[in-house]
Chains A and B, each alone.
Chain A
Amino acid sequence: MNMIQAINSAMDVVMARDPDVIVMGEDVGYFGGVFRATAGLQAKYGKTRVFDTPITECGIIGVAVGMGAYGLRPVPEIQFADYIYPALDQLVSEAARLRYRSAGEFISPITVRSPFGGGIFGGQTHSQSPEGIFTHVSGIKTVIPATPYDAKGLLISAIEDNDPVLFFEPKRIYNGPFDGYWDRPAKNWSAHPAGEVPTGYYKIPLGKAAIARAGNDLTILAYGTMVHVAIATVEEAGVDAEVIDLRTLVPLDIETIEASVKKTGRCMVVHEATRTGGFGAELAALVQERCFYHLEAPVERVTGFDTPYPHSLEWAYFPGPVRIGQALKKIMKD
């Protein structure tokens, strides 16, 4: 399966098991979503469980919070993560805090799916990576898969979780892994082991990272599309790097990170989001706090730039193999 099919399969499997799971969002019903992630679900589960919504992100999330308070498990889709900002208040002030402020009497078991990230010539409004805004918020979980296999297992866990979860889907790798070279032919998940996705039910726990590539000389912390770009780059550079696919940013798997950095002595953080105040800063701070005496070089951050996401200059903005390669040289020189 590709990642879209895996995500579709996750919803299918959970909806078949739990009649309280409902899917809602712009275009998700009859049409099956602009990326086809919800294709076939309405035909299978009916219009009261899979339905289109008005174009109001604040309404979609607010309604989902109310449905969650009733006892359902809504899976709202925000069509592009760039459009999540009108829903920010409902996510940050409501969903994320409901359990806390009601001392557990009301909860928000919602899973917000949203395609994010660049590399598809989507310009400023179809390319952003807003995860850092949400990892800063107490009470909401952030999950980002890097493979179809993980996407399905993580999404099932997210839907069954009793806390609000943001499930950001890296749309650049919906159809296949991506090595960071935009002018090379795209690869297909069918030739990739993580494209082998069981049709049935399985879960990948939230809060557990994966070692995407084992290595000894450097630890690269990445998630989503950047896992694939990092692996391609280190293999070309001949650096024996360990690439950790974080899978969930909150809760974070600090044990895996700490063990790896203490082993390798070097750490690089890679993400597409803008640099200042990004999640990479949190990762760098954590590594510095916990592994300082094991470090042989300063923690490097490779990120998008602090500009709005450009359209025509997308590939100059994108943290591809060239930017990662230069950072590799810098961090490996000592």
Chain B
Amino acid sequence: MTGEPRANLPPLSLHVPEPKFRPGDKAEFSDVIVPPAGSGRRPDPAEPAAQFHELAYGLVRVLDDEGNAVGPWAPRLTPDTLRRMLRYMALVRAFDERMFRAQRQGKTSFYMKCTGEEAVAVAATMALQRDDMTFPSYRQQGILIARDWSLVDMMNQIYSNKGDRLQGKQLPIMYSTREGAFFSISGNLATQYPQAVGWAMASAAKGDTRIAATWCGEGSTAEGDFHSACTFASVYRAPVILNVVNNQWAISSFSGFAGAEATTFAARALGYGIAGLRIDGNDALAVYAATEWAAERARTNQGPTLIEHFTYRAEGHSTSDDPSQYRSANEASDWPLGDPIARLKGHLVRLGEWDDERHAAQDLELAELVKRCQKEAEANGILGHGLHQPLDTLFDGVFEEMPWHLKEQRAQMLAEEEASGRPWALKS
């Protein structure tokens, strides 16, 4: 039943957000406000959250267009550290390129690149301690890489092969390693948010010194878990860093469907009494500085920080996505905040600590490194080439001890395989 409009009142209308550009349009970003690098105030980490609202609506930037690191947020890293950061980011990109191609060659079912977002995970990880616990989403492979995690181990997981520590039980790229302080990735969105807060609360309750950090996309901030997590983080002043990676697109839904037309994502923090920072996510030094600031805040019992990383997803959502179907062709190339690797490289060049030749040589070296690792991982098998785990591992780990009904089902499965005559049935 619909109501007839009353003659003396204007009819209501429903606003449905629409991105400014679609395929065929030329994207043009003059409306994106990019404040000068160095213009954002850097409060003391102990300052109450209510006193720096402008940082939740502005955009903290450190690297200017000429490659200088300017302003109060400039983290003053040594050239060695900057080169290490650049190398990790370039390695993430080389890894992504190789694994994307591996998926296209049919060696695995699925892959997700983080092209254009390399700074978000790499620089943040470098500002954390090695044993700080991370609760990532699916586009933070840079955490593992910046922790010098074995690329072969990551690839084994992507291939679900016999070297896969997760026994082929997870989708590719859904890494998990306790030793790497990298929490098991879930495909359900933002579920890691309250979990990170819980881990941080536990650490605080036990008088530990470790903090937690978590990442979600801007689209996931619409999930209830995000808001529950913010409430808990605020209420108990949990030592946690809540990162929102605003890469503009949640598959084909632009950030407007998560509320970006009305406010910033960093401003979500304000209503919770959480410190909110909106930063240039393509500026590795801004990411580093904000994370370092938030970590100090957490470590000194001043509570949580929510950091919005304003960035751009330069590639598709995953190998199952075709972004040319829903967004303008030149968006990625014309993104006003540039490419994070090129910007950090430019900074090092400006400092006289890097040059094009070294960069090109490093790219070659990293491509070779990834290729070597890929060969090593593929020696353990690729998805689809037979079964890599003993069949009965299918039933391992549902419970600590296997109950009778799973034992019966395991026996049934083994009998089925025996009857099938398939070659792998004989293996186990």
Q: Which of A69, A251, A254 has the most CB of B within 10 A?
A: A69
A107 to B198 alpha-carbon distance, docked (Å): 14
Which of the residues B200, B228, B400 comes within 8 Å of A59, measured between beta carbons? B228
Which of the residues B206, B228, B399 comes within 8 Å of A62, measured between beta carbons? B228
Nearest CB in chain B to that of A162: its residue: B400
Cβ A67 vs Cβ B202 within 8 A: yes
A65/B195 contact (C-beta < 8 A), A106-B184, A141-B399, A251-B404 known: yes
Cβ B191 vs Cβ A63 within 8 A: no
Cβ A71 vs Cβ B405 within 8 A: no
Which residues on the B side are within 8 Å of A163 (C-beta)?
399-400
Cβ A66 vs Cβ B195 within 8 A: yes
B window 297-338: CB within 8 A of A: none
Q: Is B352 an interface residue (CB 8 A)?
A: no
A161 to B229 alpha-carbon distance, docked (Å): 26
A58 to B195 alpha-carbon distance, docked (Å): 10
Cβ B194 vs Cβ A66 within 8 A: yes
Cβ A63 vs Cβ B184 within 8 A: no
Complex interface bits, B364-407 against A, C-beta within 8 A gives 1, otherwise 0: 00000000000000000000000000000000111110011100
Nearest CB in chain B to that of A72: its residue: B202
A106 to B176 alpha-carbon distance, docked (Å): 9
Cβ A103 vs Cβ B400 within 8 A: no
Which residues on the A side are within 8 Å of B397 (C-beta)?
99-100, 103-104
Which residues on the A side are within 8 Å of B166 (C-beta)?
101-103
B window 240-268: CB within 8 A of A: none
Cβ B195 vs Cβ A252 within 8 A: no
Which of the residues A59, A66, A105, A250 comes within 8 Å of B176, measured between beta carbons? A105
Q: Is A139 an interface residue (CB 8 A)?
A: yes
Which of the residues B174, B202, B229, B399 comes within 8 Å of A71, measured between beta carbons? B202
Complex interface bits, A61-91 against B, C-beta within 8 A gives 1, otherwise 0: 1111111111110100000000000100110
Cβ B194 vs Cβ A69 within 8 A: no
A54 to B231 alpha-carbon distance, docked (Å): 7
Cβ B201 vs Cβ A63 within 8 A: yes
Q: Is A221 an interface residue (CB 8 A)?
A: no
Cβ B205 vs Cβ A101 within 8 A: no
Q: How many residues of A contact B (CB 8 A)?
A: 47
Which residues on the A side are within 8 Å of B403 (C-beta)?
207, 250-252
Q: Is A48 an interface residue (CB 8 A)?
A: yes
Which of the residues A62, A69, A99, A250 comes within 8 Å of B193, measured between beta carbons? A62
Nearest CB in chain B to that of A207: its residue: B403
Q: Is B177 an interface residue (CB 8 A)?
A: yes
A window 251-268: CB within 8 A of B: 251-252, 254
A48 to B225 alpha-carbon distance, docked (Å): 23
A284 to B403 alpha-carbon distance, docked (Å): 19
**How far does the Cβ of A235 sit from chain B's closest Cβ, in whole Å?**
32
Nearest CB in chain A to that of B200: its residue: A66
B window 195-227: CB within 8 A of A: 195-203, 205-206, 212, 224-225, 227
Cβ B228 vs Cβ A54 within 8 A: yes
Query: Can you spell out 25 A-B residue pairs with CB atoms less than 8 angstroms apart?
Result: A22-B205, A54-B228, A54-B232, A56-B228, A59-B229, A62-B191, A66-B199, A67-B198, A68-B198, A70-B202, A72-B202, A89-B191, A89-B225, A90-B225, A94-B186, A94-B188, A101-B174, A101-B184, A103-B165, A103-B166, A103-B169, A106-B183, A162-B400, A163-B400, A252-B405
Q: Residues of A at under 8 Å CB distance from B?
A: 22, 48-49, 53-54, 56, 58-59, 61-72, 74, 86, 89-90, 93-94, 98-107, 138-139, 141, 161-163, 207, 250-252, 254
Q: Residues of B at under 8 Å CB distance from A?
A: 133, 135, 165-167, 169-170, 174, 176-178, 183-184, 186, 188, 191, 193-203, 205-206, 212, 224-225, 227-229, 231-232, 235, 396-400, 403-405
